[in-house]
Chains A and B, each alone.
Chain A
Amino acid sequence: MVRAKRQRQDIAETTLRSSSRKRAREEANEREESPPSKRRSSQPGANTLLTNSRSEYDFPSDDDTQAKATGQATPRRRGRPSVTSTPNAHGVGATPRGHKSKRLDAVTPSRTRGVANGETPRRLRNDRSARKKSARALIEKVVAGVSSDEEADEDIAREIYESSEDDDVGEDAANDHHSDENTELRPGEPATPSRKSRTKAKKGTRTRKKSPTPPRDLPPHELYFAQNRPGAAKTSNNTLASLKLLTHEEYFSLLRDYEDPHKSDIEFLDSIHVQSFPQWTFELSQGFSVCLYGYGSKRTLLHKFAKHVYDAISDHDSHRIVVVNGYVRANMSSLRDILSVIAGAIDPKHKLAAGGPPVMMDNLKSLLSAHDITITVVLNSIDAAPLRRPGFQPILAQLAAHPQIQFICSADTPDFTLLWDSSLRSSFSFVFHDCTTFSPFTTELEVVDDVHELLGRKARRVGGKEGVAYVLRSLTENARNLYRLLVGEVLVAMDDEADSSGENPGVEYRMIYNKAVEEFICSSEMAFRTLLKEWDFPSLKMLLFG
């Protein structure tokens, strides 16, 4: 027992000594930034709010512990001058308690907590010590068997103990059942300081329920350091195991029924942006590219803009609009697609030269100069992941810099300007407009997949779009054609079958073969079978042969 205490004291002191200077500096900083009185009085309030509302909201992390832990931590901090002045205070380990508590009384707990809260690296250790303390309280009570009138205290002790239980499982596992048996606690136990903070905390819970506010007055950099303090991040061990995760079907079906309460406001916002369409057109006509940024999907807005431009065009042969969806998760070939679509817009018969995108770009340029045509390129999400790969942006910049191309795009992330260096930026010659729309990203994101990936769950649905694209790309032209044929037939069959009966639909083998021969996909049945083997999925076979 005693040894444990001493150890604790040691830890406290080492941390104290090591961090005292730093803390002094911190304090000085704090003082500079805001009048201390104000700061201290406001912060703890916020803090209690934070902790309590969290616990209220089923957020049983170590926040409760924190409240108490900080309460406990403070006396040590208060007692700092004496401790630091006597560096060999190990021996006094047992005594300072009375001292401490006295000091604590002299000070309003909220205040002290506020100070301790700003001082973060020790928190974890404090947690531990609080935990140990409570564990000890439980043990002592069992050993001594003395009854007490303060049940509440025992509750706290247990609460502290249990809340951080997950952190180190093995250590106190043996004590666990002891604590369950007993419901009393000895009076005047080490848990006293925490009693104080707890009552405060309770009060907070009662009064301010719904405002989980962070400490508002921290400047951004302080907040960064506060949230990135060294030491293991302390998050609870809750998992989403109890929650049934969404499937794609459920997501989409529920989403269809959901109506956004802000729908009218979003539409209003949209109408404001629509008013600046002529301005954008003017900017585009003057050789600038337009980039729309801000929160929310700008896809529908750009679609409307494309319509607007389309309606204003008198001669649709000399001015065409190409819409590019940057968010489409395809492979490198998508750049090729984009360029060839643009080439197709200029001259539908022209085929761009094969080769890398730079070659295609050169080809496209010469094609453009040969035709008297203006192309408006409407690019959704220029900063989407597929377009972030090296090589994409220079090509886009070349495209945008061409005098016959008008280039308007949207950007969704906050840091999209990092995509371009100054030479790219000047060849884009962007004008930027804040187009915050608040409309949800429906097509741009694959919500369920993204979230599951974020959570580290099995990310993609079977194969996913990318998987299919990958497989198809690795196959020969004929195999791909066969697949197209097959899927088409199966779909037709399924439609037919669905009308007539509920049985598994089937496609006739012979028919498929004949069609394949007709389309020059294969010449012999042998080849047909080989090709078909590529599509040797159990599910497909079942479909095929009934």
Chain B
Amino acid sequence: MACLEGAEEAYEERQHRAAYIFDPSGDVGGTTRPAKRRRVSKRPNASETQGTKKASSFQYHLQGAESEQAMRLRQETFEKLWSVIDSRIHSILRQTNQSTLQEVTSFLQSAPNHTPEGKIPSAFIITGPNIASQDLLFEQLSGTLQHEAGAQVVRLRSGDASNLRAVLRKIIHVIISKDAADGDESDLTTSKDGRKFLNYDLEALHAHLKLLPRRNLVIIAFQDSEAFDSGVLSNLISLLSSWLGRIPFAFLFGVATSVELFEARLLKSTCQSLYGDQFDVEQTASIIDKIFKTAITHSEAPISFGPSLIGSLLERQREQVASIPDFINSLKYAYMCHFYANPLSFLAPDGRNSGALQSEHIEILRCLPSFRRAVETAVKNNDTIQAKQLFEDDSQLVRYLVTCLQKRRQWIIKLLRILRVFTISKTVTADFADLYMDASYHGLGLSRQYDQFFDSIKRMEPCDSEGYLSRVLDTMQEGDQTLGLDPWANESPETVALLSDILAGIKQLRSNAKDQGHILRSKYSGQSKILRTTVVAQKVQLSHDTAALTDHDKAYTSLIHRFLEHMETSMRVERAYSIPFNEVWLYDSKLPYKDVFIPRPRNVLERALSRPYDYLGCSCCRTSEGQITPTLPTTAILYRLYLETGSLINAADIWSAYYAVVGGDNEDGLDERTALILFYRSMAEMKAMGFVKQSRKKADHMAKLAWKGL
């Protein structure tokens, strides 16, 4: 006990330090604590220490019965698969900025030649509202500029620019320390005659640059130029422009709004010393779309996400202007959740690891709803023997599992091909993501989009259908790299033959019709019905008439029919949920994502205070709605009272109200002083949480600052 107290004391003492290195080995209580911890961990201690040897943070599933191999496999699979996706995403991000990079670099390289005298070449980069992804852009920019243009780049953020002196100091420091080896920075800030420069004196920079062999451009990048104080910015620009003769400056401005707005914030004279061009950056939406294609729908994506998760991801992206890093993080988190929480996840993507299956796994596999459905259909098809085998023979089940998992890839490819063919059509208005969600959730063939699509094909004019067919054939021959689709023309020669046959037929018909001065059309095209107006006895009569179809038209119609027939038979794909064992590779739970990335701290706090029993799970506080019982935590009682008050709170009154609740009148009530310490403590908490503050309006009064539910 004594040693425990000693440990406590040491701990207490450190609580008041701003920071310290955590080292419980010095604690005497170190021996007593882990025992407590062991009780809550699920696994016996021996294997835990074994598990932690390689710093594994995965937990054992199946009530601790999961073998270590399976657990490790889960972790390894996760790491392997995610790193692939991650690198793919990063290459996309790098590529997207490439064109901007080149433009800016070439502008700045040629700047000194075409910039008028006395003006600073400046590149305005319109980044859009997404300031979070600017970092990458500017990092790339400074990298390229240093590399290719041999320039010195200083990246400034608004946080660095509290005043002019600080900015100058930063600029000088960054450039000088970049070239200086450690330690001799001081040498560089002393001039030849031994005088020491002030650290914000541009003379130092000048002296430093003179030492360098080449005349280097000094590029100053204002990352979030809107956030800079406009006064500081104007001063800085005019100061730097006065040094332009000695130090060749150039500017980069990251502009989130527009150059006009930015210009309006500067002084006119300052603006005049800038000479610049405007560069656009690829906007967030298109980047997100690319990432979506590579990371989620890509044919090699190891796990798929269900529509509800994708939907909420994209919705957040659209509605809350969440940044690209956020999007990537959310994806990563979804992967993490899948592999952390799903004991079967190590089988993804193709059941390669099925050797590690344990009997517990097998049991789970047999309980999966998708598996049950598959068995039920097998029974319905009078395939009882196979169904029975699946239940009785483990090895049979594993074989079946592996085939099913391998089928997944085919399913994805089929789905993507169909979607691709789909999106070629101009009539499909929904974007790819929506189509994907729809298709993976419903399977193809049900939704309204598809009816619309087929309808549009039916009604196509010959020239359109010709164009569409040739585009489809092109796509089949080329594939789609962003989706990881290889050309699939060779795989289905009969489709290609059929389509080119139809295409040739249409072409033939068109030229024939043209020779005869006749416009080719099908039964379904718009002009097939002709509205006739006849004037009979000064009355207009309207009558519909089916225009007579020529033989060409009939031939064309039948070609379209063939095409449609083929499309309708080939464009069918199962929904993801009906594929057996989809639980292994399908993740569709948006709850952890929402909890973790979109916290609602206020609601949580309000709930904790107004319904503490939700958290504490105690019976004493659970009363009918709105009753204040003395057993509630003190702050909860005060919070209830607080909710009833107006904007000004009398401390004396709230104290007496509080004391009346908990005080001596009740059975086992508190005595006044104890009640008072609790009151104090809770008041301090309320203050710390920002519910009340001091008010000078009246003595002993507080101002109310927060209203529940707002």
Contact = CB atoms under 8 A, between A and B. Distances in A.
A165 B702 CA distance: 22
B688 A212 contact: no
Given A394-B157, A446-B684, A455-B700, 8 more contacts: A211-B627, A237-B698, A254-B674, A255-B681, A266-B616, A330-B18, A414-B690, A441-B685
Contacts of A236: 650, 652-653
Contact of A282 (B58, B135, B159, B687): B58
A294 B644 contact: no
Interface residues of B, number: 117
Given A324-B18, A337-B18, A282 B57 contact: yes
B355 interface: no
A427 interface: yes
Given A308-B37, A328-B18, A61 B323 contact: no
Please give me the 7 A-B residue pairs with the lowest Cβ-Cβ distance, nearest first: A220-B709, A57-B660, A432-B599, A282-B57, A233-B648, A321-B22, A295-B608
B530 to A, nearest CB: 55
B211 to A, nearest CB: 23
A438 B633 contact: yes
Contacts of B628: 210-212
A94 B523 CA distance: 90
A412 interface: yes
Interface in B616-654: 616-618, 620, 625-628, 631, 633, 635, 641, 643-653
A412 B689 contact: yes
B336 interface: yes
Interface in B670-710: 673-674, 676-678, 680-681, 683-685, 687-690, 692-702, 704, 706-710
A341 B688 contact: no
Nearest to B657: A57
A216 B624 CA distance: 13
Contacts of A235: 646, 648-650, 653, 698, 701
Contacts of B710: 220-221, 224
B317 interface: no
Given A236-B653, A426-B325, A431-B333, A294 B601 contact: yes
A32 interface: no
A522 to B, nearest CB: 29
Contact of A448 (B57, B224, B680, B685): B680
B700 A303 contact: no
B131 interface: yes
A302 to B, nearest CB: 10
A113 to B, nearest CB: 17
B347 interface: no
Contacts, number: 330
A25 interface: no
Interface in A271-311: 271, 274-275, 278-279, 281-283, 285-286, 288, 291, 293-296, 299, 303-304, 306-308, 310-311
A453 B696 CA distance: 11
A34 to B, nearest CB: 16
A227 B702 CA distance: 14
Contacts of B597: 431-432
A182 interface: no
A314 B54 CA distance: 8
A243 interface: yes
A412 B688 contact: yes
Contact of B673 (A250, A286, A321, A412): A250
Nearest to B679: A451
B601 A293 contact: yes
Nearest to A379: B19
Contact of B699 (A239, A314, A391): A239
A38 interface: no
A342 B19 contact: yes
B595 interface: yes
A417 interface: yes
A542 interface: no
B333 A288 contact: yes
A295 B609 contact: yes
B239 interface: no
B18 A314 contact: no
B37 A307 contact: yes
Given A426-B326, A450-B688, A278 B19 contact: no
Nearest to A355: B173
A243 B652 contact: yes
Contact of A306 (B22, B326, B649): B22
Interface string A429-461: 101111010101101111110110111100000
